[in-house]
C-alpha cells in the first residue's frame, strides 16, 4: 500500500510540473505573438509616414513632415490598454484625406473660375472705352500740306502728309452675336459694333473725330478687356492745304511772293487698333 501511494504521489507531482511548464510555454507564445503584432504595426505606420512625406513633397503642402507617434508598447502587453497618442502631437492626415482635400480645393477653384467667367461674359459688350493707334489715309481732293515754297516762280511742296498716324481715344458698343466668331472663337469671346474715336489736341480740345465699325476679341475668359480692330472714316476739321489760286508745281497767282495756306475739313479712311479697359 505504501508503494502504491508513493507511486500515485510521484505521478501527480509530474503531472503538475508538466502543466506548469505548458502554461509557461503558452504564455511565452502569446507574448511573442503580441511582440510580432506590434512590430508589424510599427512597420505599417512607418510606411504610411514615408508615403505621406513623399506626397507632401510632391504637392508642396508643407515644408516639414508631421510626425506620427508610434504606439506605446510598454504597457499595452501587460495591461491590455489601447496605446494612447500624445495630446500635444497633431496626427498626420492619411493619403486618402489628403487627396480628398485636394479634390475639394480644385472644386472650389473651378466654381470660382466659372463664376468669374459668367460675370465677365455678362459684363462684356455694351458700352466700353479704349485707347489705341490709327492710320488715316487722306481721301480729300486737296493734299495735306505741311510746308511749301515758291522756287524760281514755281510752287514747290516741301512737306505733305496724306497718311497720318495718331493716338486716339475711342468708345464703342459691342453686340454679342450668338454664334462662333472669327478664328474659331466661342460666341461669348467676341463682339461687334460701332465706335467713335477722337484725337485730343494741344491748341484745340479735339483735333479730329472718326466713326466706324469695330470688332473686339476678349483676351481671357474671366476678363472683359479686349483687343479691338476697327475701320471707318476720320474727319479733320482743320486740315492745312494750299490757299486759293496756289497749285503745286505751277506758278503762283500774280503778285504773290509767298505761299498762302488755308484750313478746311478733310475726310480720310481710318484703320484703328485699340485695347479696351
pLDDT digits 0-9 by tens, 218-266: 888 888 889 999 999 999 998 999 999 999 999 999 989 899 999 999 9
Rg from Cα positions in the chain:
46
| pLDDT(50) > 90 | no
Spell out the residues 6+ positions from residue 212 whose beta carbon is closer than 8 angstroms to its own.
194, 195, 197, 230, 231, 232, 233, 270, 272
pLDDT value at residue 3: 47
Residue ranges per structural domain of the chain: 17-92, 94-123, 125-276
pLDDT digits 0-9 by tens, 168-220: 999 999 998 888 888 788 888 899 999 999 999 888 888 999 999 999 998 88
pLDDT digits 0-9 by tens, 55-112: 556 555 444 444 445 555 554 444 445 555 544 566 777 777 777 777 777 777 777 7
- Give helix 95-123 / helix 2-59 axis angle, nearest 10°: 20
- With 0.85 as the threshold, say if the pTM is over it: no
**Among 19, 232, 54, residue whose Cα is nearest residue 134:** 232
Amino acid at each position: 500500500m505504501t508503494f502504491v501511494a508513493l507511486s500515485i504521489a510521484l505521478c501527480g507531482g509530474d503531472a503538475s510540473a508538466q502543466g506548469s511548464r505548458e502554461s509557461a510555454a503558452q504564455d511565452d507564445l502569446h507574448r511573442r505573438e503580441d511582440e510580432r503584432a506590434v512590430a508589424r504595426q510599427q512597420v505599417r505606420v512607418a510606411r504610411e509616414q514615408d508615403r505621406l512625406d513623399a506626397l507632401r513633397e510632391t504637392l508642396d503642402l508643407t515644408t516639414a513632415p508631421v510626425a506620427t507617434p508610434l504606439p506605446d508598447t510598454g504597457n499595452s502587453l501587460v495591461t491590455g490598454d489601447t496605446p494612447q497618442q500624445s495630446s500635444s502631437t497633431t496626427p498626420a492626415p492619411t493619403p486618402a484625406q489628403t487627396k480628398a482635400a485636394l479634390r475639394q480645393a480644385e472644386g472650389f477653384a473651378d466654381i470660382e473660375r466659372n463664376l468669374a467667367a459668367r460675370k465677365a461674359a455678362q459684363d462684356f459688350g455694351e458700352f466700353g472705352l479704349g485707347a489705341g493707334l490709327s492710320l488715316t489715309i487722306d481721301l480729300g481732293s486737296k493734299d495735306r500740306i505741311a510746308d511749301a515754297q515758291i522756287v524760281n516762280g514755281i510752287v514747290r511742296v516741301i512737306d505733305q502728309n496724306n497718311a497720318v498716324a495718331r493716338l486716339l481715344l475711342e468708345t464703342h458698343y459691342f453686340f454679342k452675336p450668338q454664334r462662333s466668331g472669327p478664328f474659331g472663337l466661342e460666341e461669348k469671346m467676341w463682339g461687334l459694333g460701332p465706335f467713335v474715336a477722337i484725337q485730343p489736341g494741344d491748341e484745340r480740345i479735339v483735333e479730329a473725330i472718326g466713326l466706324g465699325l469695330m470688332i473686339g476679341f476678349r483676351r481671357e475668359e474671366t476678363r472683359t478687356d479686349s483687343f479691338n480692330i476697327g475701320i471707318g472714316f476720320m474727319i479733320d476739321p482743320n486740315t492745312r492745304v494750299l490757299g486759293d489760286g496756289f497749285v503745286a508745281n505751277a506758278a503762283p497767282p500774280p503778285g504773290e511772293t509767298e505761299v498762302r495756306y488755308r484750313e478746311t475739313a478733310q475726310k480720310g479712311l481710318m484703320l484703328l487698333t485699340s485695347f479696351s479697359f
